[in-house]
Amino acid sequence: MTAIPSYAHGTSATELLGDTIGADLDRAVAAWPDREALVDVPSRRRWTYREFAADVDRLARALLADGVARGDRVGIWAVNCAEWVLVQYATARIGAVMVNINPAYRTHEVAYVLRQAGVSLLFASLSHKGSDYRAMVDEVRPDCPRLRRTVYIGDPGWTAFTDLGTADLQDELTARQAELSCDDPINIQYTSGTTGFPKGATLSHHSILNNGYFVGESIAYTEQDRICLPVPFYHCFGMVMGNLAATSHGACVVIPAPSFDPRATLEAVGRERCTSLYGVPTMFIAELNLPDFASYDLSSLRTGIMAGSPCPVEVMKRVVAEMHMAEVSICYGMTETSPVSLQTRRDDDLDHRTGTVGRVLPHLEVKVVDPATGVTRPRGEKGELCTRGYSVMLGYWEEPEKTREAVDPARWMHTGDLALMREDGYVEIVGRIKDMIIRGGENIYPREIEEFLHGHPKVADVQVVGVPHERYGEEVLACVVPRDPADPPTLEELRGWCEGRLAHYKTPSLLRVLDSFPMTVSGKVRKIELRERYAAR
């Protein structure tokens, strides 16, 4: 009997959207003008869809008045706030390319992005957690000759800039929108590079609008939903899976805080009666571990999205039972694919929500291939996950060679992730090809060990990495955040937990107890930093 290949495509009776982001917003305003579109909890400001569109248009006219042309790059270097969302939709209205800049970047990184993308206008926060954005911009400005103006959010200059749009430029705005194509580049997002500088994944109206729409469809969003977004807008998780999923369904975006705060998040859910909550697993762990967790009213929740890294079984059980998120969904993707390729559905069981990252989204294709030959593997065998379809980036901004390294001639995006496709089409992510540990000739997948160690009563969170070993090549290091910092697990306790239940070569031979893990701004653990930190020890 011929083995079934590890290939799946998302058939659907629901058509792809052919609109630009601006046209899709117009459709939402026409359908739900008086429903709330945006709530910024820290500033206590609210917008209905009619009010939101009016402010988006005012900012769009200001951009036109400032001379921003179709295809010009407009940067945004800011924490989560209402103005971030306004910039996202206003730049889309006029066909400018919004360049997302990680709020954690410092001068060296910011200068690179501003130069590489050719940013001419920058919106920036004034300050956050001790970072003085104005001082940093002043420092890098001499090295960024294309940057002609910076507008600071929360500064009088923001109001002065938006006042440019009070002039009667509505006819010009209407004309600009009419000349836009849904295939135009609309967004550049810089991916976290493990070596060298990050690369600017260039995305279109078509790719991010449809991805947000179908992510929302998979968890049955309607105009009744209210989505709490503690995840960063800088990343696709916030601006695509959050903002665009909301506006394409008439739902409301709720901003709980400028950056992740577990208490502010749960307070916003209760006060705003949110039906959906987003986060990476470490965010949900932080919320569940609050001493007063039981005091928050989370009864309005029904769904949400967990993404960024695998969800431990015990965490998922608590999210469903204690946070009322019976329809919570797991998403898998990457910036280069707008971002989601695979997603669990609202009625999937616990095994599919924790053991897999779901099945392919509508109108997309996925396959698992031999990393060396590119030949599709049979279902049940491990290989590299590839994806193809509307969501794949246009390319890395002005880096054709690096684009060709990631996207092959048949337009398959090579993810670099090791995966296994089950018989039913659901996909398991085994790990990164580069994260796989090879100990004495044995291939070890960190995810399996992490999942097992999450069951230890003293372990709140755990990451497993390989570090050099003279005899075996690599050995297994467990980095643990304890449930009780005063009573962390010992290496002997962890090894005893594994004895007789895990193969000896998978059992950690080293332990490091940490307060937290080094993270990217999108919530992914920087395993490379853990490896480098402890390799010499």
Question: What is the reported pLDDT for 40?
Answer: 98
Give the contacts of 85 (CB within 8 A, at least 6 positions apart): 38, 233, 243, 253
What is the C-alpha separation between 250 and 52, in angstroms, rounded? 12
What is the C-alpha separation between 72 and 98, in angstroms, rounded? 8
Q: Where are the beta strands (DSSP E) in 94-175?
A: 97-100, 119-125, 127-128, 131-132, 149-153
Question: What is the reported pLDDT for 537?
Answer: 64
Confidence of residue 108 (pLDDT cuts 50, 70, 90): confident
Q: Considering only CA atoms, which of 182, 202, 194, 158 is closest in space to residue 17? A: 182
pTM score of the predicted model? 0.86
Please check whether residue 37 is in contact with residue 52, taking contact to mean a CB–CB distance below 8 angstroms: yes
Question: What is the reported pLDDT for 1?
Answer: 67
Please check whether residue 287 is in contact with residue 56, taking contact to mean a CB–CB distance below 8 angstroms: no
pLDDT per position as a tens digit, 357-409: 999 999 999 999 998 899 999 999 999 999 999 999 999 999 999 999 999 99
Give me Rg for the CA atoms of the chain.
Answer: 23
pLDDT per position as a tens digit, 503-537: 788 899 999 999 999 987 666 788 888 988 998 66
Residue 194 pLDDT > 60: no
Give the contacts of 187 (CB within 8 A, at least 6 positions apart): 97, 98, 99, 100, 202, 203, 204, 208, 239
Residue 195 pLDDT > 50: no
DSSP lists the bridge partners of residue 319 as none
Question: Could you give phi then psi for residue 405, rounded to 5 degrees?
Answer: -70, -30
pLDDT per position as a tens digit, 421-451: 999 999 998 877 777 787 877 778 788 899 8
Give the contacts of 128 (CB within 8 A, at least 6 positions apart): 79, 103, 258, 259
State which amino acid sits at residue 109: E
- From edge to edge, which strands make up the β-sheet containing 364-369? 7-9, 364-369, 382-389, 413-421, 427-432
Give the contacts of 280 (CB within 8 A, at least 6 positions apart): 231, 237, 306, 307, 308, 309, 522, 523, 524
Contacts 24+ apart (CB under 8 A), 494-501: 494/453, 494/456, 497/453, 497/455, 497/456, 498/452, 498/453, 501/452
What is the residue whose two structure tokens read 């469809």?
Answer: 217
Confidence of residue 144 (pLDDT cuts 50, 70, 90): very high
Distances (CA, A) of 69 to 96, 107, 145, 321: 7, 27, 18, 51
Question: Could you give phi then psi for residue 92, rounded to 5 degrees?
Answer: -65, -35
Question: What is the reported pLDDT for 471?
Answer: 75
For 193, the enclosing helix (H) or strand (E) is none
Which two three-digit tokens encode residue 526? 């920087």
Residue 327 pLDDT > 50: yes
Distances (CA, A) of 366 to 71, 212, 302, 326: 31, 18, 29, 27
What is the C-alpha separation between 337 and 413, in angstroms, rounded? 8
pLDDT per position as a tens digit, 237-278: 999 999 999 999 999 999 999 999 999 999 999 999 999 999
Question: What is the reported pLDDT for 402?
Answer: 94
What is the C-alpha separation between 50 and 140, in angstroms, rounded? 39
Question: What is the reported pLDDT for 325?
Answer: 98
Residue 498 pLDDT > 50: yes
What is the residue whose two structure tokens read 């926060």?
Answer: 125
For 346, the enclosing helix (H) or strand (E) is none
Q: What's the distance, CA 92 to chain centroid?
A: 20
**Torsion angle of alpha carbons 13, 16, 22, 23, nearest 10°?**
-60
Question: What is the reported pLDDT for 436?
Answer: 77
State which amino acid sits at residue 212: G
Mean pLDDT throughout 285-308? 96
Residue 307 pLDDT > 80: yes
pLDDT above 90 coverage of the chain, percent: 82
What is the residue whose two structure tokens read 């969170």?
Answer: 461
Mean pLDDT throughout 37-41? 98
Mean pLDDT throughout 286-303? 97
Which of the two residues, 196 and 57, has the higher pLDDT score?
Answer: 57
Alpha carbons within 13 A on the beta-carbon side of 166: 5
Mean pLDDT throughout 75-104? 97
What is the C-alpha separation between 69 and 239, in angstroms, rounded? 23
pLDDT per position as a tens digit, 362-373: 999 999 999 889
State which amino acid sits at residue 111: A
Handedness of CA 234, 273, 309, 16 (dihedral sign): negative
Mean pLDDT throughout 476-495? 96
Q: Please, what are the domains in the chain?
A: 49-180 (3.40.50.980), 210-364 (3.40.50.980), 365-387+405-432 (2.30.38.10), 435-535 (3.30.300.30)
Q: How long is the chain?
A: 537
Q: Considering only CA atoms, which of 233, 259, 248 is closest in space to residue 123? A: 233
What is the C-alpha separation between 122 and 150, in angstroms, rounded? 5
Question: What is the reported pLDDT for 192?
Answer: 64
Question: What is the reported pLDDT for 196?
Answer: 58
Q: Is 311 left (phi over 0), alpha (psi -120 to 50) or beta?
A: beta
Mean pLDDT estimate for the chain: 93
Give the contacts of 355 (CB within 8 A, at least 6 positions apart): 428
